Amino acid sequence: MSKRTIVPIGPYHALQEEPEFFKLHVEGETVVHLDIELGYNHRGIEKLSESKDFEETIFLVERICGICSTSHPLACVQAVEDAGNIHVPERALFIRSAVGELERIHSHLLWLGLAGHFIGFNTIWMWAWRFREEVLNILELISGNRNHYGMMKPGGVRRDINKTDIPAVRGLLEKLQDPLKLFRDTVIEDPLIHARTKGIGILSREMAVAYGALGPTARASGVAIDARRDHPNAAYEMLDFDVVTCENGDVFDKTVVRILEMFESIRIIEQCLTKLETVKGPVDSNPKCVAPGEGVGVYEAPRGEVFHYIRSDGSNRPVRHKVRAPSFMNVPTNRETVLGGTVADATIILAAVDPCYCCTERMAVAIDSHGGDELWGARDLIRLSCEKTDRLMKETGWRGPQPPENIFANR
C-alpha cells in the first residue's frame, strides 16, 4: 500500500478553483491525516471595522459571507444594541426573524444541492437551486436584493415589510412545502443516499462538545444547542419552534437536520407574518449614538452560532469588533470525521460541515511533497465520490433519486 498525498485543489465548491485546500494524506484508500490551512480569504475585517462607523460596519460585515449575509449583520447589530442598551421596536424583531429564517431556507437548499452534486446526483443540485431561486425572489421583494439584503441596522431594520407583500411571502411558503417534502422523503427513503451517507463521517457527541461545534454539525451529534432558543434574540422568544436534533452525527443525520430545519423555518416565518399583520409601530428606534460599553451579540446562522463582540467608547466607531463565524468551530471537527474514512467519502464528509469558508478564512492545504507521490485535485475527489455511487448502483441495482412524474405540476 503506497502512501499518497492528495491535494484537493478547491474547497467544497470544487466547481470553482479557489486557492483553498484540504490536504489529505492517504494510505491505500484510507485517509490517515488531514491538514487544514487557512488564510486565502482573510481580508482583515476586524481591523477595517475600527475605521468605520457603526452603520458602515454593518455593510462591511454583511460581506463577510455571501450566503449568511444577514446572520453576521444581525449578530453585529445585536452586539451594538447590547453595548449601548439600545431598544428595538417589536415590529423590527419580527422582520429580523423572518428575514433570518428565509436566509436559513435558501442556505440549506444551497447546501443540499451541493451535497447532491458531490454524491453524483446533479438532479438534486438543479432542483434544490431551482427552488432556492423562489426564496431569493421573495428576499428581493422584501429587501431589494437577492443577497446582501442590507436589512439590519442598530436599533431596528432598514425597511418594513409591506402589507401588500405578505401574500407573496405566504405564497412562497406554500410553494416550498411540496419540494421540501420531496427532498425529505427522498433522503429518508432512498437506499443509495443511505449507503453514501449513513455511518459516514461520524462526529461523536463528546467530540462535538470538545470542539465547541455549532449548528447542524452539533445538533446532528445530539448536542441540542440553538442560539434561537438558548440565547433568545430577535423575535424568537415570542415564536414557537422545535430544535431539530439527531443522534449519530454522520452525514445522513446532518442532512436530515438541515432538511427538517427548513420546515421549522417555514413555521417561524408564518408566525412572523401573522404578527406583522397586527403589530404596528416603527421598525427603527433611530439611535443617535452608542453609549460607551461592550456588548456581545449571538445569532443562529444556518451554520451555527455567529458571535460578535463590540466595544464602544461613545464615539461613532467601534474600538474593537470581534467576529467569530460558526465554521471557525465546526471546520476543525473534520480532523475527527475524515480520518479513518475512505478517500471517496472525503468530499461529502468535508462538505457536511457546510463550511462557509469565506466566513472562516478558507481551508487550504499546504503540501509537503514526498517524492513520487500522486497529487490529486478536488475534481478527482468528486470523481472518486461519483464512482463510488456508480459502483453501488451496479452492485445493488438501486437507481437513486428519480424525478417525480409530475415534476412540472406545481410551477
Partner 1 sequence: MGIENIITKISEGLGDSLLSLKQKSDKRVYIDIPPQAVRETSRLMLETMAARFQIATGVDTREGIEVMYHWALDADDLIVTIRTMVSHEKPELDSIALFCVAAEWIEREMWELLGIHFRDHPDMRHLLLSDDWPEGKYPLRHDYQRSDEVTP
Partner 2 sequence: MNWAINALTRSLNVFHLGGSACNNCDIEILDALTPRYDLERFGITLVGSIRHADVLLMSGIFNKKSAIRAQELIEQAVKPYVVVAIGGCPCTGLMFRDSYNWDRPVGEYIHIDAFIPGCPPKPEAIISGIVTVIEGLRSGALVPGCLQDPTPADVELVPEASGVGSID
Whose CA is closest to 176, among 104, 276, 120, 96? 104
Closer CB to partner 1, 174 or 313, in the complex: 313
The stretch near partner 2 (CB under 8 A) out of 7-15, 24-32, 320-328, 387-395 is 7-15
Residue 19 makes contact with partner 1 by CB under 8 A: no
Q: State the DSSP string of 302-342.
A: TTEEEEEEEEE-SSSSEEEEEEE-THHHHGGGHHHHHTTSB
- Other Cβ atoms less than 10 A from the Cβ of 115: the count is 27
Between 236 and 357, name the residue whose CB sits nearer to partner 2: 357
Phi, psi of 34 (to 5 degrees): -130, 130
Choose from partner 1, partner 2, none: what does 294 bind? Cβ within 5-8 Å by kind. Answer: partner 1
Q: By CB under 8 A, is residue 324 in contact with partner 2?
A: no
**Residue 82 is a binding residue for partner 1 (CB under 8 A):** yes
Which one among 3, 205, 322, 383 touches partner 1, defined by CB under 8 A?
A: 322
User: How many C-alpha atoms does 320 have within 13 Å on its Cβ side?
Assistant: 7
Which grid coordinates belong to 367? Answer: 503540501
| 44 touches 24 (CB < 8 A) | no
399 binds, among partner 2, partner 1, none (CB under 5 to 8 A by kind): none
Q: Which helix H or strand E contains 379, and what residues bound it?
A: helix 378-396
**Residue 226 and residue 351: Cα distance in Å, rounded?**
21
Site string for partner 2, 52-81 (x = CB under 8 A): x---x--xx--xxxxx-x------------
Q: Is residue 58 a contact partner of residue 114, using CB atoms and an 8 Å limit?
A: no
- Shortest Å, Cβ 70 to partner 1: 20
- Give the E-state strand segments of 210-301 in sequence order: 293-301
Binding-site partner at residue 406 among partner 2, partner 1, none, CB < 5 to 8 Å by type = none
Residues 280-299 that bind partner 1 (CB under 8 A): 293-296, 298
Binding pattern to partner 2, positions 169-208, x when CB under 8 A? Answer: ----------------------------------------
Give me the residues that bind partner 1 (CB under 8 A), please. Answer: 38-39, 42, 44, 46-47, 82, 209-212, 225, 230-232, 293-296, 298, 305, 307, 309, 311, 319-320, 322, 324, 328-329, 332, 361
